Amino acid sequence: MFNSLSDRLTETFRNLKRKGALSETDVNKTVRDIRMALLDADVALPVVKQFTGQVRDRALGAEVSKALNPGQQVVKIVNEELVSILGGQTRRLNLAKNPPTVIMLAGLQGSGKTTLAGKLGFWLKEQGHTPLLVAADLQRPNAVTQLEVVGERAGVPVFAPERGNVFGHDAALESGEGTRSFGDPIDVAVDGVAHARDKNHDVVIIDTAGRLAVDVDLMRQAHDIRMETHADEVLFVIDAMIGQAAVDTAKAFADGVGITGTVLTKLDGDARGGAALSVATVTGEPILFASTGEGVKDFEIFHPDRMAGRILDMGDVLTLIEQAEKAFDQAQQREMARKFMAEEDFTFVDFLEQMQAIKKMGSLKQMLGMMPGMQQMRAQLDSLDDKEFDRVEAMVRSMTPFERMHPKQINGSRRARIAKGSGVSPSEVNQLLERFGQAQKMMRQMRKGGGMPGMPGMPGMGGGAAKGKAKGPQSKKGKSGNPAKRAEQERLAAQKAEESRGNAMGSAFGLPGGGEDAAEQDLSSLKLPAGFDKFLKDQ
118 is in an annotated binding site: no
CA 132 to chain centre: 26
Q: Are 87 and 35 in contact (CB under 8 A)?
A: no
Vertex 438 angle, CA 436 and 441, to 5°: 115
Question: Mapping DSSP to helix (H, G, I), strand (E, B) and coil, where does residue 102 land?
Answer: strand
Question: Mapping DSSP to helix (H, G, I), strand (E, B) and coil, where does residue 467 land?
Answer: coil
268 is in an annotated binding site: yes
421 is in an annotated binding site: no
Q: Are 340 and 509 in contact (CB under 8 A)?
A: yes
By DSSP bridging, strand 261-265 and strand 287-291 are parallel
413 is in an annotated binding site: no
Query: How far, CA to CA in Å, does 470 sit from each of 91, 449, 458, 476, 532?
Result: 60, 20, 19, 10, 30
User: Among 297, 296, 300, 304, which Cα is nearest to 279's?
Assistant: 304
Which own/partner pairs from 60-65 qualify as long-range (CB within 8 Å, at least 24 positions apart)? 60/24, 60/27, 64/22, 64/27, 65/22
209 is in an annotated binding site: yes
Dist CA 336 CA 80 (whole Å): 41
109 is in an annotated binding site: yes
198 is in an annotated binding site: no
Which are the contacts of 535, defined by CB distance < 8 A and separation ≥ 6?
A: none
How long a stretch of residues is the chain?
Answer: 539
113 is in an annotated binding site: yes
Dist CA 213 CA 211 (whole Å): 5
Q: CB 355: neighbour CB atoms within 10 A?
A: 15
243 is in an annotated binding site: no
264 is in an annotated binding site: no
267 is in an annotated binding site: yes
111 is in an annotated binding site: yes
266 is in an annotated binding site: yes
The sign of the torsion formed by the CA atoms of 94, 98, 99, 103 equals negative
Q: Are 335 and 495 in contact (CB under 8 A)?
A: no
Which are the contacts of 125, defined by CB distance < 8 A and separation ≥ 6?
A: 131, 154, 155, 156
Annotated binding site: 107-114, 207-211, 265-268
Annotated binding site for GTP: 107-114, 207-211, 265-268
